[in-house]
């Protein structure tokens, strides 16, 4: 029996079929304070440490949501505490057959104790390289919520080069894709953090451009909770270069306007979670879907209700399917 959403909008299963053969499915999931049961004296996790029962409920709900998403090949995980929670998630009975492996951002700089991570299918992908850039910057906002306030990011990007197993060989050897997982600074604090937010987008975009210059045939996917809608400076600085050229294309643009949201705040529907790809590889996108469970009415009240999936996050989850041949095809 499948778990269902909390309201009439989600009374029928909203599950998506697995990706078709020859496609790579990537998901974005904000896991909403997925902490383990051990209090960390170095962070402010005191208010978020769950009871053992709550922890198991949370893992069960997220694992069943992953099944509803069609068990993606790659899952961008935001608001996780460490590798332990991802390993516990991958070990859930609902997910064991998927063979997920896990990585998380190695250097925590968030005062609450959250970071980004990734689950990926070991039979489909192999990690070739991992980087997590976090340069020194100083801003008027003082880095509120950061352990080291002189660094740009409280939750640095996790940039992973994956070798794609079984894919056609490229002219440079094994087929490769770069997936950059992010959780940009939120808008809390009004205008004060805006300069930092915009620099987070600009820095990552320019950093990726520098890598692209030396390996133009490696496609890039940028995914995460960017805490930014299309009109926000952080999003624009990431997706558009200083000369006005387009750096990245957002897959949810292929959705109808009414479906293009992952978060609701005081009645305002926002798309804060994104999945961006090189614009010359946008034709590789074969499907885009958002699982609208957590934005349903009263869904957040179901956070600890094991009978429903809804409430596993305060954001909806996003999946994008890519045709591997088109995604990996040489461009030069």
Among positive and negative, which fits the CA dihedral 204, 175, 77, 16?
positive
* pLDDT value of residue 166: 75
* pLDDT value of residue 171: 41
Q: What is the Cα–Cα distance from 201 to 80, expressed in whole angstroms? A: 21
* pLDDT value of residue 332: 65
Q: Are strands 176-183 and 158-164 parallel, antiparallel or unpaired?
A: antiparallel
Q: Give the pLDDT of the chain (332 residues) as one tens digit per residue.
A: 233 333 333 333 458 999 999 999 999 999 999 999 999 888 888 889 999 999 999 999 999 999 999 999 999 999 999 999 999 999 999 999 999 999 999 888 999 999 999 999 999 999 999 999 999 998 989 898 999 999 999 999 999 999 998 765 444 445 999 999 999 999 988 889 999 999 999 999 999 999 999 999 999 999 999 999 999 999 999 999 999 999 999 999 999 999 999 999 989 999 999 999 999 999 999 999 999 999 999 999 999 999 999 999 999 999 999 999 999 999 86
Q: How many CB atoms lie within 10 A of CB 163?
A: 15
Q: What is the Cα–Cα distance from 250 to 263, expressed in whole angstroms? A: 17
* pLDDT value of residue 138: 87
Query: In which element (H, E) is residue 118 found?
Result: strand 115-121
- Please name the residues in contact with 7: beta carbons below 8 A apart, sequence gap of 6 or more: 296, 297, 298, 299, 310
Taking only Cα atoms into account, the Rg of the chain, rounded to an integer number of angstroms, comes to 19
Q: pTM for the full model? A: 0.94
Q: What is the Cα–Cα distance from 328 to 332, expressed in whole angstroms? A: 12
* pLDDT value of residue 11: 34
């Amino acid at each position: 029996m499948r778990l269902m959403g909390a309201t009439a909008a989600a009374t029928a299963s909203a599950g998506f079929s697995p990706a078709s053969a020859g496609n790579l499915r990537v998901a974005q999931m904000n896991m909403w304070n997925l902490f383990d049961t051990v209090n960390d004296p170095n962070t402010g996790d005191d208010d978020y440490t769950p009871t053992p029962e709550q922890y198991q409920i949370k893992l069960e709900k997220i694992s069943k949501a992953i099944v509803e998403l069609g068990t993606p090949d790659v899952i961008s995980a935001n608001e996780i505490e460490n590798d332990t929670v991802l390993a516990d998630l991958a070990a859930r009975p609902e997910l064991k057959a998927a063979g997920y492996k896990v990585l998380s951002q190695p250097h925590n700089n968030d005062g609450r104790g959250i970071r980004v991570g990734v689950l990926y299918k070991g039979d489909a992908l192999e990690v070739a390289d991992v980087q997590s850039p976090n340069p020194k910057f100083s801003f008027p906002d003082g880095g509120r919520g950061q352990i080291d306030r002189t660094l740009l990011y409280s939750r640095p990007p996790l940039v992973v080069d994956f070798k794609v197993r079984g894919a056609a060989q490229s002219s440079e050897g094994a087929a490769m894709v770069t997936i950059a997982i992010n959780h940009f600074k939120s808008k809390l604090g009004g205008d004060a953090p805006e300069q930092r937010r915009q620099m987070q987008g600009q820095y990552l975009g320019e950093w990726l451009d520098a890598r692209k210059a030396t390996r133009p045939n490696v496609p890039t996917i940028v995914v995460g909770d960017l805490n930014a809608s299309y009109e926000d400076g952080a999003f624009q600085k990431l997706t558009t270069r200083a000369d006005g050229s387009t750096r990245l294309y957002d897959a949810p643009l292929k959705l109808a306007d009414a479906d293009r949201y992952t978060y609701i705040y005081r009645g305002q529907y926002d798309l804060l979670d994104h999945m961006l790809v090189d614009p010359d590889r946008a034709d590789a996108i074969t499907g885009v879907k958002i699982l609208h469970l957590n934005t349903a009415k009263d869904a957040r009240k179901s956070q600890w209700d094991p009978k429903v999936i809804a409430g596993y996050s305060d954001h909806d989850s996003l999946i994008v399917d890519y045709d591997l041949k088109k995604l990996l095809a040489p461009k030069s």
